[in-house]
Amino acid sequence: MTQTSKNQTLPSFEIGGTDAVTRMGYGAMRITGPGNFGPPTDKQAALNVVRGAAELGINFFDTADSYGPGVSEEILAEALAPVRDKVFIATKGGAIKSAPGKVRFDGSQAHLADAVEGSLRRLKTDRIDLYYLHRPDPNVPFEESVQALARFRNEGKIRHVGLSNVSLEQLREAIDIVPVAAVQNAYSLVRREHEGLLRFAEEQGIAFVAYAPLAAPPFDPRAPLADTNGPLAGIAKELGATPTQVALAWLFQHSPSLLTIPGTANVAHLRENVGATTLSLSGEEAERIEAAVASEGGPR
């Protein structure tokens, strides 16, 4: 397995052209309770994995007010308090979780105004580094939701505006209203329907933050690309790496604007993920990786 060490310098990207964040981020959905609802069964373990991410050099942490709900934001705030000036925290608003697996979306300006205040309070900050609309609400004009984010930015409550689960058309519409620093969509070797959006983001200097980087949802977070008997197993063995590391390294090579936020509640998995940043792929190796996935059905 490709190894990593504490406090190493990880590859970075400048969010909004101003804030250097590590392209390997940490997705904080898994530090909540079962079904992403309620507190974790072991809070100290959750605090330890977040602190472990920072010790490994990650400075980009991603959460949402619906994770818990509220629990993930509170744990991040507590875990990262000693290094708060050295890390960058992104959160999302517009999703309301009322039970495990039960989520509804509200992109109204009134709800988003309440949501951003709640996130400010739980994150114990007076300005959120990056605030995403979690998902467009089909019952609210997209323009109205984006205008709310623009207002929060003008008021100094958020530093950068982000959009999640959006189309290329929606991104184009949004940047006519407010500068967009990042988009966050599902993207991986097996899920590449947002390739056009990725390339547009690259042209515009916008970060493309890939969630579900190892498989397409609904998904087991460590399969199929992480499967030791999966399509990447042979190439990973040749490279002295794991299938997970190969899948993540491919993302970093595929576009300089790609960041990713694999989530885990396991420190060993965290180290494995970070190890992908030291794995360099040749053009021929990248082609073989794509071909291996194609042989299993190819990307969607």
The catalytic residue among 67, 132, 187, 211 is 67
Non-local CB neighbours of 49 within 8 Å, separated by 6+ positions: 31, 264, 265, 266, 267, 270
Contact 77, 45 (CB under 8 A): no
Non-local CB neighbours of 147 within 8 Å, separated by 6+ positions: 109, 177, 178
Element (H, E) at 207: strand 207-211
- CA dist 31 and 70 (Å) reads 11
Contact 66, 103 (CB under 8 A): yes
Contact 188, 215 (CB under 8 A): yes
Q: What are the C-alpha distances in Å from 136 to residues 28, 71, 163, 217?
A: 21, 23, 9, 18
User: Can you give 91-131 as a three-state secondary structure string?
Assistant: EEECEEEEECCEEEECCCHHHHHHHHHHHHHHCCCCCEEEE
The upper half-sphere exposure of residue 289, i.e. CA atoms within 13 Å in the direction of its Cβ, equals 27
- CA dist 240 and 273 (Å) reads 14
For 248, phi then psi, to 5°, come to -75, -40
67 catalytically annotated: yes
Catalytic center residues: 67
